[in-house]
Amino acid sequence: MHTLLLLFSFFALLCSLSNFIPFVEATKTQRSFTVDLIHHDSPHSPFYDSSLTSSEIFKKAALRSIARYSLSENNNQFPESVVFPNGAVGDYLMKIYIGTPPVERIAVADTGSDLVWVQCSPCDDESSCFSQDSPLFDPNNSSTYTTISCTSQNCTLLPQNQHTCGTSNVCQYLYTYGDTSYTIGDLASDSISFDSVGYVTFPNSIFGCGHNNSVTFNSTKKATGLVGLGAGPLSLVSQLGDQIGHKFSYCLVPSGSNYTSKLKFGDDAIISGNGVVSTPLAINSSTPTYYNVNLEGISVGNNTIQSNQNASNIILDSGTTLTYLDPSMFNDIVTLVTQSSAIEVVKDPPKPFGFCGRFQGSSVEVPIFVFHFSGANVSLPIENMYTVVDENLVCLLLLPNTELIGVSIFGNLAQVNFQVEYDLQGNKVSFSPADCTKSN
């Protein structure tokens, strides 16, 4: 009865506010849905040539736009704001709807953290919420909002030092990110919906209602919170669990593209075909958030560099822009790139880059990269590893991981134009080259 009533009021509201919108409530059976991932820097001046797969790099506007983004927008704070241990750079945004009636929220999509949270009214004081274009989420306005009690299992799913018991036995969370961002508030439960082909609603989803929040992604004013897509217990992916067959995938369009990237859940997320390669996923129970895989080596042109570890040694992350590697591997790569291309190494590469070289003329031949994950050789399009910064300066989209306490990360620029599927039940990650502007 209760459920029916709520269903009806949501439905009636949607009908009265807009044209008929098909409404689907998620049940325990599996659901599939797709949402847009919007690059926060997505300009409407596209230039993208998907035929750029040879070993010749040109002075292309599209390549420069990546660099412009890296250099100007994030400038000096760039290397520090990287996702570790679970920080958010905020490259990609997605829409979710919270509550009854559903309120649209734009939030950062982050595979490097777990908690889903939004800024909630009231803020602890005037300076304890970052500015956003839309009003704060008001829990009083949602008929399905409830707080989670301190004794609830969901409260204890937060790491020990990230929850306390507040007034009225409400579970208080404190979630901190590696880049100094944090959110503090009530752990709560409410419906979370997605606008796919019609709304798909997941009642009783756990999220953080943040009353004291500080983030490094506050410059857009669009983002009102964050959606954690990690593998830990409170992440969106883990909460939807069986209902999405423990699967999601994304396909990231190049920076500057006029198209939106897609994030898919459930059967929609399954990638198939000849080009699909898969590697085992190793979730470490002491840091369950991260998608760890094993990188056996990297080929640079005809040479292969072996990684010196034989264990899950690199994190796949859509929230980190560049790729971070073991310093010795990075140095070997630099040597090979220098040897096999007609570039002159520059002494002080512009931030945030770790290696750049000058070239003559309108283009330069550079070696192609293949990442050898266990069981999955991933050959990267040239623009996933190189960018042309100014007239004749080419830079690698790679950095040594010295700032990350030795943690290697396969970042989002390396993953552009691949379908990347995470199967948390089958414990594997699959890659398939794709033109992400054409995937729906």
| Binding residues vs ligand NAG (CB under 6 A) | 44, 46, 121-122, 124-125, 128, 130-131, 135, 138, 140-141, 152-154, 184, 189, 204, 206, 212, 214, 218-219, 258, 284, 286-287, 301-302, 310-312, 340, 372, 375, 377
CB of 18 to ligand NAG, least distance (A): 17
Give, rounded to a whole angstrom, the gap between the first and last alpha carbons of the chain.
37
The DSSP bridge partners found for residue 157 are none
**Distance (Å, whole) CA 66 – CA 380:** 16
Six-digit token string for 171 = 């579970």
**Distance (Å, whole) CA 208 – CA 234:** 10
Q: C-alpha 277: how far from its chain's center?
A: 21
CB of 139 to ligand NAG, least distance (A): 7
Q: What is the DSSP letter of 63?
A: H
Catalytic residues: 110, 317
| Of 352, 375, 357, 393, nearest in space to 430 by CA | 375
* 8 Å CB contact between 123 and 68: no
Give, in order, the Cα–Cα distances in Å from 138 to each of 99, 135, 399.
Answer: 9, 8, 42
Measured from the CB atom, the residue of 198 and 301 that comes closer to ligand NAG is: 301
Measured from the CB atom, the residue of 2 and 44 that comes closer to ligand NAG is: 44
Measured from the CB atom, the residue of 297 and 350 that comes closer to ligand NAG is: 297
CB of 148 to ligand NAG, least distance (A): 6
Measured from the CB atom, the residue of 212 and 392 that comes closer to ligand NAG is: 212
Three-state secondary structure call for residue 242: helix
* 8 Å CB contact between 208 and 173: yes
CB of 312 to ligand NAG, least distance (A): 6
CB of 376 to ligand NAG, least distance (A): 6
Estimate the share of the chain in helix, then strand, then coil, as percent rounded to the nearest 5.
20, 40, 40
User: What is the SS3 string spanning 186-211?
Assistant: EEEEEEEEEEECEEEEEEEEEEEEEE
CB of 347 to ligand NAG, least distance (A): 25
Upper half-sphere CA count for residue 179 (Cβ side, 13 Å): 22
